[in-house]
Amino acid sequence: MNPELIIVNPSYEEHIALIQLNRPKELNALNLQVMGEIRDALKMLDEDDNVRVIIITGNERAFAAGADIKQMAGKGAIDMLKIDQFSTWDQIRKTKKPIIAAVSGFALGGGCELVMTCDMVVASETAQFGQPEIKIGIMPGAGGTQRLPRAVGKTRAMEMVLTGNFISAEEALKYGLINKVVPTEVYLTEAVRMAKDIARQSPIAVQLAKESVLKAYEMPLQEALSFERKNFYMLFATEDQKEGMNAFVEKRNASFKGQ
Q: Which residues bind ligand DAK (CB under 6 A)?
A: 26-27, 29, 65-70, 80, 85-86, 89, 106, 108-110, 113, 132-133, 136, 141-142
Cα 89–chain centre separation: 11
Fill in the DSSP letter of residue 213: H
Q: Is 125 a catalytic residue?
A: no
- Alpha carbons within 13 angstroms on the beta-carbon side of residue 239 total 5
> Which residues pair with residue 60 across a beta bridge?
none
Please indicate whether residue 218 is annotated as part of the active site.
no
Q: Which of 29, 102, 133, 169 is catalytic?
A: 133
* Set 37, 113, 190, 228: catalytic member: 113
60 classed as catalytic: no
Shortest Å distance, C-beta 157 to ligand DAK: 16
d(CA 172, CA 148): 11
Give the integer Cα–Cα distance in Å for 86 and 90: 6
Query: In the sheet that 106-108 helps form, which strands lie side by side, from edge to edge?
Result: 62-64, 106-108, 128-130, 167-168
Comparison of 130 and 203: residue with beta carbon closer to ligand DAK: 130
Nearer to ligand DAK, 136 or 213 (CB): 136
Q: Please, which residue, 22 or 207, has the CB nearer to ligand DAK?
A: 22
Residue 2: CB minimum distance to ligand DAK, A: 23
* Closer residue to ligand DAK in complex, CB, 1/136: 136
CB of 178: closest distance to ligand DAK in angstroms?
Answer: 18
What are the two backbone dihedrals, phi and then psi, of residue 140, each rounded to the nearest 5 degrees?
-60, 140
Residue 110 falls in the annotated catalytic set? yes
If you ran DSSP here, which 8-state letter would residue 50 be given?
A: T
Q: Rounded to the nearest whole angstrom, what is the least distance from the CB of residue 121 to ligand DAK in the complex?
A: 17
Whether 239 contacts 259, CB under 8 Å: yes
The active-site residue out of 110, 111, 143, 144 is: 110
Nearest approach in angstroms of CB 167 to ligand DAK is 14
Q: Using the 8-state DSSP alphabet, how is residue 25 labeled?
A: G
DSSP three-state, residue 121: strand
Minimum CB distance to ligand DAK smaller for 95 or for 238:
95
Catalytic residues: 67, 110, 113, 133
